[in-house]
Copies of this chain bind each other. A is one copy, B any other.
Amino acid sequence: MGRWAPDAALRLERAALELFAEQGYAATAVPEIAARAGLTTRTFFRHFPDKREVLFLYERELPAVVASLVAGAPAFLSPLGLVMHGFEAMAAGPFEGRRAELQARRAIIGSDEGLRERELLKNVLLAGGITEALSGQGVGKEEARLVARYGVLVFEIALNDWLDGNSDTFSDVLHSTAYRMGQLVRPARQEE
């Protein structure tokens, strides 16, 4: 979540999240964000094409992070096991402990239709990154694609459920979502 991004980009992201939360996304202009971060408008545009993209900074590294986690997973895991291993490491690492921040971000995104649409693109990009990571581990292209899409769906549902709640850890929610989904979608015997 931005840990590997340039310092200026991270400061702009933090300033934008504050201002969007305080006065709304629509009412906030780029020069205000830059000023809050102690930077110039010009610097803002060196890091982001527009106001919207500042909310999606962490996406830039997400596929690479998940790919490295998949590559580092135990080799005996199934393709789905590889993906869930990567997501569990994300959940227990960069996400855990940041619920309040992620809830604030989600509230801002929910306030604007353009942001909601943009947010959905994240899942497509993430699935693409995971598909490549699985292919790199020798999983067939077709299988990699299906497993990546499924894993991203489970992760997204679990993330939203975790942000809705206030007691469980993200790891626990992710684990139980993956289990329940697996039970519900396994082919019934008479349908095979």
Contact = CB atoms under 8 A, between A and B. Distances in A.
A184 B150 contact: yes
A140 to B, nearest CB: 10
B153 A157 contact: no
A180 B157 CA distance: 22
A146 B116 CA distance: 20
Contacts of A121: 116-117, 120
Interface string A107-136: 000000010111011011000000000000
Given A116-B121, A120-B120, A121-B120, A79 B184 contact: yes
A184 B120 contact: no
A38 B4 CA distance: 55
A150 B120 contact: no
A104 to B, nearest CB: 21
Contacts of A147: 184-185
Contacts of A114: 117
A181 interface: yes
A113 to B, nearest CB: 8
Contacts of A45: none
Given A153-B149, A157-B149, A78 B188 contact: yes
Contacts of A116: 121
A87 B160 CA distance: 26
Interface in A138-192: 142-143, 145-147, 149-150, 153, 157, 177, 179-188, 191
A2 interface: no
A80 interface: yes
Contacts of A181: 146, 150, 185
A180 B187 CA distance: 10
9 contacts: A78-B191, A117-B117, A143-B180, A143-B184, A146-B184, A146-B185, A150-B181, A183-B187, A186-B187
